[in-house]
Amino acid sequence: MIGIIGGSGVYEITQKADNCENRLVETEYGDVEVSILDIFGKEVAFIPRHASGHSIPPHKINFRANIDALKQVGVTKIIATNSVGSMNLEMPPGSFVIPDDFLDFSQNRKKTFFEDKVVHIDVTEPYCSQLRDVLDASGDVILGATYVCTEGPRFETPAEIKMFKMLGGDLVGMTGLPEVTLARERQMCYNSICIVSNFASGISENNLTIDEVFEMVKEKERDLLELIYNFIKNVDESSDCECLHALDGAEV
């Protein structure tokens, strides 16, 4: 099964579904409502990351419950969407960027499923390259960027953005971690479509507002949904991948 973890701009994905079943999935980390959709003859499990009405702030998202719920319903490949600010002038607002690395500056989040035993997963290639190639063939995207995850819910300061740039960051957001690494721990393929909503603080000429983020996401909503629909058409959900064997050699 294909999994979609959607932020703003993806809540309308059910419109092209031939069937939609809402299922409450119980996990040891909390209960999660998952929509099981039939799109182009394929099963798609959809979770709105911020819940209905965009009511959960980024630092309060139950990442472990969401990933575990997708695993329980049979998902093997996940595409997530993340609204981001850009620190790279070659990745302007309105771009869809597929990251290939990350810097994690989030602070107070549960970041692993393995709290009672020692497991070291490899993240040399943290985002699935197979899914990257499918996304590349599915729409107009920029390949390759380092995603910086901050705790939120505030935006970053100009000094923080300057530091992130010096460390090699291209994009900054609040929702990408630990989602990507939790998916790896559950041996699922994962990649992200980063929607650039604005230039980051100190690069943008204006103060940042959440309205600016929502406006850009709304403007790009049709293109984003088309990219996701093309991905669903193009992806082979049964293909093997190293991500599906991520615990081989990882457990002590």
Is the pTM higher than 0.85? The answer reads yes
Amino acid letter, residue 213:
V
Tokens of 215: 């406006």
The domain limits of the chain are 2-245
CA distances, 86 to each of 19, 89, 95, 169, 193 (Å): 37, 7, 10, 9, 14
Tens of pLDDT, residue by residue, the chain (252 residues): 999 998 666 777 777 788 889 999 999 999 999 999 999 999 999 999 877 666 798 999 999 999 999 999 999 999 999 999 999 999 999 999 999 999 999 999 999 999 999 999 999 999 999 999 999 999 999 999 999 999 999 999 999 999 999 999 999 999 999 999 999 999 999 999 999 999 999 897 777 777 778 788 888 989 999 999 999 999 998 899 999 999 999 986
Domain 2-245 part of CATH 3.40.50.1580: yes
Buried b (16+ CB within 10 A) or exposed e, 27-52: bebeebebbbbebeeebbbbbbbbee
